[in-house]
Structure 1
Amino acid sequence: MTKILKDEDLVGSHLMAVAIDALETAFRARAGKRLISPPRHHVSFPDRGDLVFTVGGILGEKPLAGFRVYETFEGAEHSQIVAVWSADDARLKGIVLGERLGNLRTGAIGGLAIRHLSPPDARTIGILGSGAQARTQLAAAAAVRNLDRARVYSRDEKNRAAFASEMQNALGLDIEPAGSAQEAVAEADIVICATTSQTAVIHARDLKPGVHINTVGPKTRDGHELGLDIAAAAAVIATDSPEQARAYASPFFLAGSSSEHRMADLADIIAGKAAGRGSSEEITLFCSVGLAGTEVVVASAILDMMAVPS
């Protein structure tokens, strides 16, 4: 019988480590031209929205293939479907329903960037935003670095207080709400930007030397929370999918800037094909755009883990 998982099945802090390790394998496969990850495909339903498909998988000893589909229809609830096949015997491994897998995958990509680009001795983290992406990015950072203190800022005081309380209990970190974006990032070794702000809320002058910054989601020239001077100050700029960054309908926020052509593929940095952090004083920037096909890889790893008797 085909395994079907839902959001309520994807609970537990151990899943983040599983997801990050699965994506380490996927990104190394990408560097070796063994990851299948074509751009997203949109099917429009006029006056309603789109169905958006991503298809992908890994070639090699244990090949897998699958797809994710989600909708952009207006409504109070949204959902996604991820299906995974074993590509060597046509076996449908399982289906994952809901939104939690997508959040876990995005957080894990951020965690992978932190693993390979942030200072190895990073202890403090500043978070901008208090939503689902901020939560999974912080959980991923805590899975790859020995953090001991965090500060969070978002526009709603109640939201940032709730975030600090919830994530402190979940991760065992000392987390405190900050009164401003600048206060949240001032002493941080790692900065997570997970807001919907259409204007820059931090600039290079707000950051200390050696910081690593993660951004999440599409950042366009018309809306981004990072000052362009941060990209200019960064010794390394990486993304999980340069192709996807170039394919947005609205130009990526670095388009037309002096930093536009400096973006490296995170997979190449992981595989040693491109330069990563060179010193403790260098600023590094990772722009997460959601590499297609990676949901399939994470879903496969979780399905495999749950198939093993405890």
Structure 2
Amino acid sequence: MSTEDATLWISEADVVRAISLPDAIDALEHGLALEAQGRATNMEKTHLLWGEGHTLHAIGATVEGEQVVGTKTWAHTAGGATPLLLIWNSETGRLRAVIEAFALGQMRTAAVTGVATRWMARPDAAVLGQVGAGKQALTQVAAVCAVRPIAQVRLFSRDSDRRTAFAQQVRSAGLGVEVVAAETAAACVADADVVTLVTRARVPVLGSAELVPGTHLNAIGAISPEREEFGQDVFERCASIGVDSLASVRRLSKEFRTRFGEDETAWQAVRPLSALVAEGAGRRTGADLTLFKAMGMGISDLAVGLAALREAEAQGLGRRLPHPTKVKPRLTRAA
């Protein structure tokens, strides 16, 4: 079977062999630069709620010059999720790859935090305070440590057992940082240079009073309209506000919709991360707070997925499957 006649199935293990989190950060930064040039475009995120907190998601993107278009879809349920990223040749429509995307999703979600922290946090940021200890939590810590000289990580989760276990997990991750399990969210973020919120909170877990001047805040967890992680008073102190996808934030972020509503002039203060990357200016000296909000976007998945696909092909990873062959539909019940 030639590669032209096959689709490459890349497993979770193959993804992890192919790329690391620092690789994902660099790949995503490149993808954001392409977006700023008008060469990468997001498909607007679609989102469906059912049952008690169950959600169906689909996102996608295309990259000019790479001849690829991709979509990722997953259903988040109480029993878990099985995300898949599909990459097609944008000229022929042939399916190039199916990528099992849980590890990839963790890396792309963390990578956007890494890129935002690289361009929005103080260069000398040494203390990270993170609220949340779920499935995305460890890679979020690692992403900030990858782009800033973090010496101490403070962690908080409302569940004390989970908090203790997560602190030990971070200590064992080889990040070379001091790890402190904080007793409260306020203690976790007190005097922190970078704060990351990665929770499923439905009411804010912190507000402006808990954040000292010079802090950069990453708000990563509230990606659907019923969730909310930070108070409205945070906006009043922000010198810079960045988002991964402005369209998704406008439709799906409770925090931003409450703040800006339908005021087009007010929304001008909110800038895509791709624009901040393209400018290359970094954080303004003396800025009070900076805020980054991530909802998830197709360019993130496609940029990191492409990096995994290229490296998998170079290393001979994955399984070749026959490309789908068209068959005419059966029009009657008779065989």
| Fold match (TM-score > 0.5) | yes
- Is 2:133 the partner of 1:130? yes
Match of residue 43, structure 2, among 2, 24, 38: 38
Gapped regions of structure 2 (runs ≥ 5): 1-5, 317-335
- Structure 1 residues 186, 50: CA separation in 2 closer, same or farther (over 3 Å shift)? closer
Give 1:6's aligned amino acid: S
Q: Is residue 219–residue 253 contact of structure 1 (8 Å, CA) maintained in 2?
A: no
- Structure 1 residues 185, 292: CA separation in 2 closer, same or farther (over 3 Å shift)? same
* Residue matched to 2:304: 298
- Is 2:74 the partner of 1:67? no
Q: Using the TM superposition, give the Cα deviation of residue 146 of structure 1 relative to its aligned residue in structure 2, in angstroms.
A: 1.8
- Structure 1 residues 42, 205: CA separation in 2 closer, same or farther (over 3 Å shift)? closer
Q: Is residue 214–residue 287 contact of structure 1 (8 Å, CA) maintained in 2?
A: yes
Q: Is residue 217–residue 290 contact of structure 2 (8 Å, CA) maintained in 1?
A: yes
Show CA shifts across 1:192-231 (max 9, x none).
0011222222222212211100001336776422121112
- Is 2:109 the partner of 1:106? yes
Give 1:198's aligned amino acid: R
* Residue matched to 2:276: 269
- Structure 1 residues 82, 272: CA separation in 2 closer, same or farther (over 3 Å shift)? same
- Is 2:278 the partner of 1:278? no
* Residue matched to 1:16: 21
Q: Using the TM superposition, give the Cα deviation of residue 75 of structure 1 relative to its aligned residue in structure 2, in angstroms.
A: 5.3
Matches within 5 A, 1:1-310: 1-11=6-16, 15-41=20-46, 51-60=56-65, 62-72=66-76, 74=77, 76-87=79-90, 92-170=95-173, 171-218=175-222, 223-248=227-252, 252-257=254-259, 261=267, 262-272=269-279, 277-309=283-315
Higher relative contact order (CA 8 A, sep 6+): 2
Gapped regions of structure 1 (runs ≥ 5): none
Q: Using the TM superposition, give the Cα deviation of residue 293 of structure 1 relative to its aligned residue in structure 2, in angstroms.
A: 3.5
Partners of 2:236 and 2:132 in 1: CA distance: 23
- Structure 1 residues 10, 309: CA separation in 2 closer, same or farther (over 3 Å shift)? closer
TM-score by length of 2: 0.82
Indicate the larger mover: 4-13 or 168-177.
Answer: 4-13
What root-mean-square deviation, in Å, do the aligned CA atoms of Structure 1 and Structure 2 show? 2.8
Structure 1 or 2, whichever has the larger Rg, is: 2
Q: Is residue 222–residue 253 contact of structure 1 (8 Å, CA) maintained in 2?
A: no
Q: Using the TM superposition, give the Cα deviation of residue 172 of structure 1 relative to its aligned residue in structure 2, in angstroms.
A: 2.5
> Aligned residues, how many?
305
Q: Using the TM superposition, give the Cα deviation of residue 178 of structure 1 relative to its aligned residue in structure 2, in angstroms.
A: 0.4
Partners of 1:91 and 1:105 in 2: CA distance: 24
Partners of 2:51 and 2:231 in 1: CA distance: 36
Partners of 1:281 and 1:40 in 2: CA distance: 32
Q: Is residue 71–residue 298 contact of structure 2 (8 Å, CA) maintained in 1?
A: no
Q: Using the TM superposition, give the Cα deviation of residue 276 of structure 1 relative to its aligned residue in structure 2, in angstroms.
A: 5.2
Partners of 1:219 and 1:198 in 2: CA distance: 11
Give 1:233's aligned amino acid: R
Show CA shifts across 1:166-200 (max 9, x none).
11211222111001111111121100001122222
Indicate the larger mover: 196-205 or 23-32.
Answer: 196-205
Q: Is residue 228–residue 254 contact of structure 2 (8 Å, CA) maintained in 1?
A: no
TM-score by length of 1: 0.88
Partners of 1:98 and 1:106 in 2: CA distance: 11
Show CA shifts across 1:87-106 (max 9, x none).
45766442112422212111
Indicate the larger mover: 213-222 or 186-195.
Answer: 213-222
Q: Using the TM superposition, give the Cα deviation of residue 69 of structure 1 relative to its aligned residue in structure 2, in angstroms.
A: 1.7
- Structure 1 residues 131, 146: CA separation in 2 closer, same or farther (over 3 Å shift)? same
Partners of 1:111 and 1:230 in 2: CA distance: 21
